[in-house]
Amino acid sequence: MLSLTCPCCGITAEETEFAPGGEAHLKRFGPGSSDEAFEGYLFARKNPKGVHFERWRHAYGCGKWFLAARCTATLEVFGTYPAQTTQPPAELIAKIKAKRPEWEGWA
Amino acid sequence: MSTRLAKGGRLIDRAKPLNFTFNGKPMRGFAGDTLASALLGAGQVMVGRSFKYHRPRGIVASGAEEPNALVGLGRNARFEPDQRTTTTELFEGAETRSQNHWPSLDFDIGEINDRLYKFFPAGFYYKTFMAPRAAWKHLFEPIIRKSAGLGGVPKEADPDRYEQAYAHCDVLVAGGGVAGLAAALREGRAGKRVWLVEQSAHWGGRTPVDDGQIDGVEAEDWIAAALEELESLANVTMRTRFMAAGLYDHGYVIGYESVADATPGDGRPRHRLWRIRAGLTITATGAIERPLAFAGNDVPGVMLASAVRDYIVNWAVSPGDRTVIVTNNDDAYRTALALLDAGLTVPTIVDAREETHGALPQEVKARGVRVLEGRGIARVLGRSRVTGVEICAQAGEGGAVETIACDCVAMSGGWSPVVHLWSHCGGKLIWDEPRAMFRPDPSRPPTGADGAAMATVAGAANGDLTLAETMAGFGIGACSHDEAALAPVWMMPAGATDALRYKAFLDFQNDVKVSDVQLAAREGYTSVEHTKRYTTLGMATDQGKLSNINGLAVLSDALGQPIPATGTTTFRPPYTPISLGAITGEARGDLFQPLRRTPIQSWHEAQGAHWEPVGHWRRPYCYPRKGESHSDAVGREITNTRKNVGMLDASTLGKIVVKGPDAGRFLDMLYTNMMSTLPVGKCRYGLMCNENGFLMDDGVVARLSEDMWLCHTTSGGADRIHGWMEDWLQCEWWDWKVYVANLTEQFAQIAVVGPKARALLERLGGMDVSKEALPFMHWAEGKLGDFDARIFRISFSGELSYEIAVPASQGLALWETLMAEGEALGVMPYGTEALHVMRAEKGFIMIGDETDGTVIPQDLGLSWAISKKKADFLGKRAQERSHMTDPNRWKLVGLETLDGSVIPDGSHAPAEGYNANGQRNTQGRVTSTYYSPTIGKGIALGLVLNGPDRMGEVIEFTGEGETQIKARIVETCFYDKEGEKQDV
């Protein structure tokens, strides 16, 4: 069972206090978008063995959504940050790069 | 004959005798005994029969690794099978029963299996029960089921209490031997919050049984001093009878504490399950001695060498008068010393090594014990008790050179570190060639949330098998006998014949022999994980604590590869079985899950309502009167509601307030239709879809003010939809000025439904509820009688209907007032089933019935509720996908059975032909089906291929069994198609 730190209320809590929400930083495609773009938005999800950005909600706490950078293989949590952003914070990316030089980076 | 020695026994209290029974026979032990030591002390060597061959079996070990000596313990509701006698503490009045035999332990019909061993090779089931197919159900499975399973199942509910607890610490030390004590001292002195846990009832591990000095004093004195200091440290918590059962992600440890096992019924919880978050876990879990594989190594009286000396030193129990020791290492010679010190006879030590020069062998030889070098045991003599051993050359094929009479055999194949905790969450192992063992690889530990090691390992668990090595890890001096290298011997003799290998057991509990593993290798099982499953090696309740390493050594040998190339099977928690009661904790009975109650619940209970679970709510399904069936009650409630007036507790309905300058814009994105244009004071039915376009919730939206809307959701959907709204507001449109609040439980809501509904409300006085003042699909706020009410003119039944929301605190009073005032009008409460039937009679959809996550609103004839003006809403783009716009979709229609019967739930309409999987094609299915007391026959809603284009057509649905039910496709609305009744 993971433990995560909610960046909104600052509490480090058990995984059972959170609800997972899948991949972070999806760009929404709506009416007028091409079939390919919409398919990508709706169905194509990254499934890396390694660094991954994902959504969590502090469902049984402050109720806020936040984002986490986590290694899917070792479960190392590199950091969590508020959901109101379209990309991970630069310092978090730098931190991951330092820890995982082979990481191809965020895209 | 095993017996209690007159002197000694460091763990027993001879002043406190305890009575217990074994198969009804009275026996006596002492406080401090385990069941195993008490049984041996009472002369009971054979304690059970094996699982597959029903061979007589005795106690092998003295700890958690015991494979054989499992008994049924207790009686009636407190009976529990498969209790390990070696770890179960003796208590006064304990009732124990041996397992896996019929009619008795000494005479067992199933023993025939042992004579037929050649017909039960590895993979016996896979090979035998293949054909004929029909025989499986009627012949094979009943026989297998009858013979499967170890021990009996208690027939009554568990009367005991279990609880769960949480703990947080900087360091968890698992294991209370000298390594664990030293680790706890180091961390405790450094000021860390330390938990030190030990699975047995005693501190110190096995060092006091073996020899040695620590820090210049006898080990036992060092242990006593360490305990004294640890107890004085406020930051150190110490628990015995507490197993660290598993290490999980991010330093999560499950602890299993035995609280009242030895005092059944004393009111305390029997077990406690601990959820511990440890910054660092130090695994000081020791090592387990390995058996040797030789013919008859399972005969009662053959034991681990370490266990033999444990029984002598700890419990003053002699496992036998004449003990032959068989070994491939020096450590087993300690057992000879213990036996000699107790005045027992050691006829011979059989050592597989060609030479023995170590300090321990020298000391033993000096005391006059005969040591045979380069020898092995060809076979053990005796069936239900060892009577002797045949000695052979270890290098040979098993030709006996000598027979030695004995009643106990102490075997030692070396030691394996207990690496379970280390391995549970990803810690890796390396093969230590000189010591022939897997031990933790410090460069590949399990890692935690920060990516750093979350476990380290100390003592024998680290492969530091001598006392000096263990204590050196803590910078503490220690000494014991030097030990010479072991010889990696796994089987005796090296060239054992087929006949010998058929009786040389690797896994005692699952009856897996050397021959089975070799057969698996010959049949192509090269992966250790496959071999495990094929032979069942290591799959018993002991999880192969004694058998795994030996088994994979034999497999490696058969495959002609080194042991590390074969690898180990996966170590999975828990370390030893834990009770289901502890996992359940207090979550049973009334506490199984939280129950949500409406403010009117107590009234429903007093009425004797029949309940239906809806999410975490329980709602009245109907209110049966005396002598009335449920279906009669439902029919009465419907008829009365349509004729007079009925009342429904609709408090469970989701009520979410959406407020803010951007609230209208937000709701336009969430609902398929336009909510921003809804005038204040009016209500509008709305649909919500997910981004796949599928319908996920529906309900009536009321605009409360210029910037505030109230969204009604389904009863089960309120929390989900509230979360859905929060998701979009926080993660996508975070700059929109909208606030949402789930007020579901803040309001009670009562539906007053039927032609006399207005008359009933008017009896309360106050608000004007006339058609002019409060028309259909409007709402109004005010005083209804004494109540602060918000009244919605909405109808889910097709009748004149008012839904009255009041603060939750006023709900019960309003309900009771309406009931009293309505008596003259014939008011009756109605339940969820009447609600369902009435909405189906009107053709109204129900989320979860008409929808299943693959249905779009267009399938349900709800295109009218999908805005064509809006540029965007959730699900809009998805509904433009080719599959969604396919004209050949299953669409909602009404169904009327020709014979008036009711189509069964879930019924499909078969079509011509078969699909690619050979299944019958279908052209539709029923989504809701009821007997309608209003129409007087079976009605249904269903999704049918091109349904709306096929009005009047008769199609067949599957009925009960092979029958077919003919039904005519009709419009979805069966009752008051013009909607006149609700709009009066």
Range of lowest pLDDT (A41-45, B9-13, B262-266, B330-334):
B262-266
DSSP B140: I
Domains of chain B: 3-113 (3.10.20.440), 162-285+417-479 (3.50.50.60), 289-414 (3.50.50.60), 605-879 (3.30.1360.120), 887-983 (2.40.30.110)
Percent of chain B predicted with pLDDT > 90: 91
pLDDT above 80 (res B951): yes
Tell me the chain A residues in contact with residue B730 when contact means C-beta distances shorter than 8 Å: 64-65, 83-84
pLDDT above 90 (res B969): yes
Closest Cβ opposite residue B449 in set A30, A57, A77:
A77
Banded model confidence at residue B638, pLDDT cuts 50, 70, 90: very high
Identify whether the C-beta of residue B420 lies closer than 8 Å to the C-beta of residue B545: no
Number of Cβ atoms within 10 Å of the Cβ of B580? 10
In sequence order, what are the residues at sequence separation of 6 or more whose Cβ sits closer than 8 angstroms to the Cβ of residue A104? Answer: none
Q: Do B727 and A57 touch (CB under 8 A)?
A: yes
Q: What pLDDT does B767 receive?
A: 96
DSSP B197: E
A·B CB contacts under 8 A:
71
Amino acid at B204: G
Please state, in angstroms and rounded to a whole number, the distance separating the CA atoms of residues B836 and B621.
10
Residue spans of chain A under pLDDT 70: none
Tell me the chain B residues in contact with residue A41 when contact means C-beta distances shorter than 8 Å: 691
pLDDT above 80 (res B120): no
- Please give the mean pLDDT across all residues of chain B: 95
pLDDT above 90 (res B130): no
Q: Do B451 and A76 touch (CB under 8 A)?
A: yes
Residue-wise pLDDT for B243-252, tens only, equals 999 999 999 9
Closest Cβ opposite residue B877 in set A14, A31, A57:
A31
Rounded to an integer, the average pLDDT of B614-626 is 95
Residue matched to tokens 């030097």: B482
Structure tokens at B85: 């006698």
Q: Is residue B338 packed enough to be buried (19+ CB in 10 Å), middle (13-18) or exposed (0-12)?
A: buried
Cα–Cα distances in angstroms (integers) from residue B817 to residues A60, B472, B811, in the given order = 38, 82, 10
SS3 (DSSP) at B878: helix
pTM of the predicted structure, to 2 decimals: 0.91
**Class of A3-99 in CATH:** alpha beta
Banded model confidence at residue B479, pLDDT cuts 50, 70, 90: very high
Residue-wise pLDDT for B485-533, tens only, equals 999 999 999 999 999 999 999 999 999 999 999 999 999 999 999 999 9
Q: Is B13 on the interface with A (CB under 8 A)?
A: no
Q: What pLDDT does B615 receive?
A: 87
Identify whether the C-beta of residue B683 lies closer than 8 Å to the C-beta of residue B794: yes
SS3 (DSSP) at B340: helix
Q: What pLDDT does B141 receive?
A: 78
Banded model confidence at residue B572, pLDDT cuts 50, 70, 90: very high
Rounded to an integer, the average pLDDT of B189-213 is 96
Rounded to an integer, the average pLDDT of B462-470 is 96
pLDDT above 90 (res B78): yes
A39-48, long-range: CB within 8 Å, 24+ apart, which pairs? Answer: A41/B691, A42/B691, A42/B692, A42/B878, A48/A72
B425, B720, B730, B876: which to substitute to probe chain A, counting the most A Cβ within 10 Å? B730
Residue-wise pLDDT for B145-156, tens only, equals 777 778 888 889
SS3 (DSSP) at B728: helix
Which residue, among B318, B283, B311, B306, has the nearest Cα to B429 in the 3D structure? B283
Please state, in angstroms and rounded to a whole number, the distance separating the CA atoms of residues B406 and B388.
5
Please state, in angstroms and rounded to a whole number, the distance separating the CA atoms of residues B42 and B51.
25
- b/e sequence B228-238, b meaning 16+ C-beta within 10 Å: eebeebeebbb
Q: Is residue B509 packed enough to be buried (19+ CB in 10 Å), middle (13-18) or exposed (0-12)?
A: buried
Identify whether the C-beta of residue B754 lies closer than 8 Å to the C-beta of residue B800: yes
DSSP B504: B
Q: Do B877 and A35 touch (CB under 8 A)?
A: no
- b/e sequence B853-872, b meaning 16+ C-beta within 10 Å: eebbbbbbbbeebbeeebee
| Closest residue in B to A70 (Cα–Cα) | B449
Q: Is B268 on the interface with A (CB under 8 A)?
A: no
Q: What pLDDT does B30 receive?
A: 98
Cis peptide before B264 (omega within 30 of 0): no
Cis peptide before B132 (omega within 30 of 0): yes
ipTM score of complex: 0.97
Q: How far is CA B314 from the centre of its chain?
A: 36
Q: Is B502 on the interface with A (CB under 8 A)?
A: no
Q: Is B166 on the interface with A (CB under 8 A)?
A: no
Q: Is B781 on the interface with A (CB under 8 A)?
A: no
Please state, in angstroms and rounded to a whole number, the distance separating the CA atoms of residues B820 and B646.
13
Residue-wise pLDDT for B871-914, tens only, equals 999 999 999 999 999 999 999 999 999 999 999 999 999 999 99
Q: How far is CA B261 from the centre of its chain?
A: 22
How far is the alpha carbon of B893 from chain A, nearest alpha carbon, in Å? 30
Q: What pLDDT does B149 receive?
A: 73
Q: What pLDDT does B313 receive?
A: 98
Helix axes B630-643, B832-841, angle to 10 degrees: 60
Banded model confidence at residue B121, pLDDT cuts 50, 70, 90: confident
- b/e sequence B749-762, b meaning 16+ C-beta within 10 Å: bbbbbbbbbbbbbe
Banded model confidence at residue B361, pLDDT cuts 50, 70, 90: very high
Residue matched to tokens 């026989």: B143
Structure tokens at A3: 């433990």
Identify whether the C-beta of residue B717 lies closer than 8 Å to the C-beta of residue B848: no
Percent of chain B predicted with pLDDT > 70: 100
Rounded to an integer, the average pLDDT of B924-940 is 96
Rounded to an integer, the average pLDDT of B186-215 is 96
